[in-house]
């Protein structure tokens, strides 16, 4: 019977099991060899006392190379000192594929490596339990997001990633050649998900890549990221903030409940945040920053220093609402009675932005005016604008960065840790 290391319990004492995995470590004590087998769920100790195992496998264990792929058939024995509280006395060990030596990277935690070296040999880095844990938790997050949004009546959609117009104009676009035309990699599904409100879907979500030609190298920016996006009709910014905070809460709950083992590998215990999340306005945020010595001229985006001050003061997960209209994209809806402020919000974790959202402008003339006011040409938004002329409902939505959410939840120092194969200013391989 094939089992994972984590499936083995003390009650299985005496039972014969088959394990598949990698040789994590070999400890050769002369007449006794310990071989640690690692599979995706953990580590098992294979114990070979010279007297009790066949000559053949004893010899094999002594010369086996680390990170080779093996199959072990053996008997479970309770052993308190071994990982998981059991050991396996092998009856056979089969090498399915021998590893080369030396290894490009250490899989055990004994020798720390620079992030760059780790990313260069990512397949090997990913074998490390701590790194595996990050992606097992990422899997849970994505599953919870999808489940939650489906339960709430959202329909999953996929919009094009090869596009002809910039979502927000500007410089953060990767141009590509598309036959005889110039095209771009989409920086956000924004325009399409709004058009789908005009199409009558009412509630849509998309989990997909966004591409941003960010020139600067920071610990929170990638050039390719996964965005969780929703758009919802007949609601406003408050309606979609409500969905967002309940979603994040649900994700935390599910991870805390289902990912105990992987949180353990990371030596983390997760605290589920309480609902509702705190809300402060942009004005309150710049006041906090100013009190701590960082003056932000009204209307400008909050820089990292300002956000660090605000994060220190508020802490945890919170919203910054009511941003100046000029600081937000053209599609953000201004308040009727104070048009210099928009019905917009960012979801923050400490100093890190996790999501941005807003009620959108659904009125054609106002939207055209807003595009012009940002110095862009309504002509280049023709397919988008058409959807606003024949019955566009009021609507709102947000985009939540999957890597930022994972990074903040696990306290990762660099967003690259949250991606299997990150793309940044200097990295296109692997």
- By CB under 5 A, which span of 8-16, 71-79, 280-288, 354-362 interacts with Mn ion? 354-362
- The answer to whether residue 399 forms part of the interface with ligand ATP (CB under 6 A) is yes
- By CB under 6 A, which span of 274-282, 318-326, 384-392, 395-403 interacts with ligand ATP? 395-403
Nearest distance, CB of residue 124 and ligand ATP, angstroms: 25
Residue with Cβ nearer ligand ATP (48 or 185): 185
Nearest distance, CB of residue 356 and ligand ATP, angstroms: 3
CA distance 195 to 166: 15
Question: Residue 332 in contact with residue 342, Cβ under 8 Å?
Answer: yes
Going by their DSSP bridges, the two strands 317-321 and 278-281 should be labelled as: parallel
Residue in 5, 194, 227, 342 binding ligand ATP, rule: CB under 6 A: 227
Q: Which does 403 bind (CB under 5 to 8 A by kind): ligand ATP, Mn ion, none?
A: ligand ATP
Going by their DSSP bridges, the two strands 395-401 and 162-163 should be labelled as: unpaired
Residue with Cβ nearer ligand ATP (5 or 190): 190
Residue with Cβ nearer Mn ion (47 or 194): 194
Nearest distance, CB of residue 126 and ligand ATP, angstroms: 20
Each as own residue / partner, the long-range contacts of residues 180-183 (CB below 8 Å, 24 or more positions apart, any chain) are: none
Question: Residue 398 in contact with residue 357, Cβ under 8 Å?
Answer: yes
Residues that are catalytic = 212, 214, 220-221, 353, 356, 404
Nearest distance, CB of residue 353 and Mn ion, angstroms: 6
- The answer to whether residue 342 forms part of the interface with Mn ion (CB under 5 A) is no
Nearest distance, CB of residue 210 and ligand ATP, angstroms: 6
Q: Which does 343 bind (CB under 5 to 8 A by kind): ligand ATP, Mn ion, none?
A: none
- The answer to whether residue 193 forms part of the interface with ligand ATP (CB under 6 A) is no
**Nearest to residue 399, comparing CAs of 151, 94, 168, 219?**
168
- The answer to whether residue 225 forms part of the interface with ligand ATP (CB under 6 A) is yes
- The answer to whether residue 214 forms part of the interface with ligand ATP (CB under 6 A) is yes
- The answer to whether residue 227 forms part of the interface with Mn ion (CB under 5 A) is no
Residue in 67, 403, 417, 424 binding ligand ATP, rule: CB under 6 A: 403
Residue in 221, 237, 395, 416 binding ligand ATP, rule: CB under 6 A: 221
- The answer to whether residue 105 forms part of the interface with ligand ATP (CB under 6 A) is no
Nearest distance, CB of residue 401 and Mn ion, angstroms: 9
Q: Which distant-in-sequence residues (6+ apart) come within 8 Å of 22 by Cβ?
A: 37, 38, 39, 67, 68, 69, 70, 107, 127
- The answer to whether residue 356 forms part of the interface with Mn ion (CB under 5 A) is yes
Residue in 138, 237, 343, 404 binding ligand ATP, rule: CB under 6 A: 404
Between residue 335 and residue 374, which ones bind ligand ATP under the rule CB under 6 A? 353-356
- By CB under 6 A, which span of 95-103, 120-128, 173-181, 401-409 interacts with ligand ATP? 401-409
Q: Which does 222 bind (CB under 5 to 8 A by kind): Mn ion, ligand ATP, none?
A: ligand ATP
Q: Which distant-in-sequence residues (6+ apart) come within 8 Å of 305 by Cβ?
A: 289, 294
The footprint of ligand ATP on this chain (CB under 6 A) covers a number of residues equal to 15
Binding stretches for Mn ion (CB under 5 A): 356
Q: Which residues contribute to the site for ligand ATP (CB under 6 A)?
A: 212, 214, 221-222, 225, 227, 353-356, 399, 401, 403-404, 415
């Amino acid at each position: 019977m094939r089992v994972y290391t984590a499936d083995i319990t003390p009650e299985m004492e005496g039972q014969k099991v088959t394990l598949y995995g990698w040789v994590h470590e070999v400890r050769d004590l002369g007449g006794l060899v310990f071989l640690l087998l690692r599979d995706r769920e953990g580590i098992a100790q294979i114990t070979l006392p010279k007297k009790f195992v066949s000559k053949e496998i004893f010899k094999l264990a002594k010369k086996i190379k680390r990170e080779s792929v093996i199959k072990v058939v053996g008997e479970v024995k309770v052993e308190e000192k071994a990982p998981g509280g059991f050991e396996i006395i092998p009856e056979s060990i089969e090498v399915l594929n021998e590893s080369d030596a030396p290894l490009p990277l250490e899989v055990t935690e004994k020798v720390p490596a620079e992030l760059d070296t780790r990313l260069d040999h990512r397949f090997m880095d990913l074998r490390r339990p701590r790194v595996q844990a990050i992606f097992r938790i990422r899997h849970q997050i994505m599953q919870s997001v999808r489940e939650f949004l489906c339960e709430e009546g959202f329909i999953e959609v996929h919009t094009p990633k090869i596009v002809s117009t910039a979502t927000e104009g500007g410089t953060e676009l990767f141009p590509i050649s598309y036959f005889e035309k110039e095209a771009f990699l989409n920086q956000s599904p924004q325009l399409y998900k709004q058009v789908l409100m005009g199409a009558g879907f009412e509630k849509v979500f998309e989990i997909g890549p966004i591409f941003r030609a960010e020139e600067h190298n920071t610990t929170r920016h990638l050039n390719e990221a996964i965005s969780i996006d929703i758009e919802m009709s007949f609601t406003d910014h408050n309606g979609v903030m409500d969905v967002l905070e309940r979603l994040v809460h649900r994700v935390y709950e599910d991870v805390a409940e289902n990912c105990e083992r992987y949180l353990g590998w990371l030596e983390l215990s997760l605290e589920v945040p309480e609902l509702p999340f705190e809300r402060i306005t942009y004005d309150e945020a710049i006041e906090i920053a100013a009190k701590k010595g960082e003056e932000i001229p009204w209307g400008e985006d909050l820089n990292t220093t300002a956000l660090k001050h605000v994060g220190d003061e508020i802490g945890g997960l919170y919203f910054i609402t009511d941003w100046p209209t000029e600081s937000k994209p053209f599609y953000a809806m201004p308040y009727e009675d104070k048009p210099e402020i928009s019905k917009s919000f960012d979801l923050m974790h400490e100093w890190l932005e996790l999501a941005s959202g807003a009620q959108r402008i659904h009125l054609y003339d106002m939207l055209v005016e807003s595009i012009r006011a940002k110095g862009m040409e309504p002509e280049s938004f023709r397919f988008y604008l058409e959807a606003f002329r024949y019955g566009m409902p009021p609507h709102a939505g947000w985009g939540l960065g999957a890597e930022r959410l994972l990074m903040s939840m696990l306290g990762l120092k660099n967003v690259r840790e949250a991606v299997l194969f990150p793309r940044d200013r200097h990295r296109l391989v692997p």
